[in-house]
Amino acid sequence: MIMELQKSGRRNKRQEDNTNARHSLKPKRIKGQFTRPRGCSYQLSSPLNDTVEANVEDFRRIPGVQEVQCTGEELKGDVGIFSLTLYAADNKRSLSSVNLVTKTCSASSVFASCFIDDSDTRKTRIRALITDLVEEEVREFGCNLTTFVGSSKQTTFVNWWLPVSRPSEYQLSINSVSTQSAGINV
């Protein structure tokens, strides 16, 4: 099931209450690095003694539009997911979320898409487009997963931060010229 959402400034009271409750749970924090090559994936350790993956890349090779992905795909096979939330780490504002119990996807201030995998909840993912970064700005985005193991009713909160930056347009053009020149000289 794939759901595409566009920007929407409207949120109902129930969504706001759920978002506030979710962020007041004090999840364990996993933090990524601040430097990355373009189109990078982070492999981070989680409290479940597993790795989680956080992705960021230029959307369709447009340097001014960054695509951030939140997924639990790298979690072990016996781990299931109740919900995913992608949010701005500086103010804890939810950008997009998926509730796998009700099979709903919501977005607030970004263009987002959700993919819900009914057969394997770990493959469920949120993708959001970040369009308001200025050149060389770095901003952190977080991903919050509510998980369970096997048939256990005990939930675990997995949370990590991912730095997202927009490179300088000048730097991109110099790198392109250098790459082409290197190919000609060889």
Tell me whether residue 95 is in a domain. yes
- Is position 37 within any domain? no
Inter-CA distances, 130 with 125, 165, 173, Å:
16, 10, 21
> Is 80 exceeded by the pLDDT of residue 169?
no
Q: Give a yes or no: residue 63 inside a domain.
A: yes
Q: Is residue 183 part of a domain?
A: no
As for how many domains the chain has, the answer is: 1
The average pLDDT across 22-48 equals 36
Q: Is 147 within the bounds of a domain?
A: yes
Using 50, 70 and 90 to split pLDDT, how confident is the model at 115? very high
Range of the domain at 93: 42-166
β partners of residue 88? 93, 141
Report the range of poorest mean pLDDT among 6-20, 89-103, 113-127.
Answer: 6-20
Amino acid at site 23:
H
The predicted-structure confidence for 8-17, as pLDDT tens digits, reads as follows 344 444 444 4
Tell me which of 26-35, 132-141, 149-158 is least confident. 26-35
Residue 31 lies in a domain: no
Terminal Cα-to-Cα distance of the chain (whole angstroms): 48
Q: Is the pLDDT of residue 96 over 90?
A: yes
Average pLDDT score, the chain = 68
Question: What is the side-by-side order of every strand in the sheet holding 138-149?
Answer: 28-31, 155-165, 138-149, 79-88, 93-99, 104-107
CATH code of residue 132: 2.60.40.10
Specify if 114 maps to a domain.
yes
pLDDT of 148 over the 80 cut? yes
Residue 8 lies in a domain: no
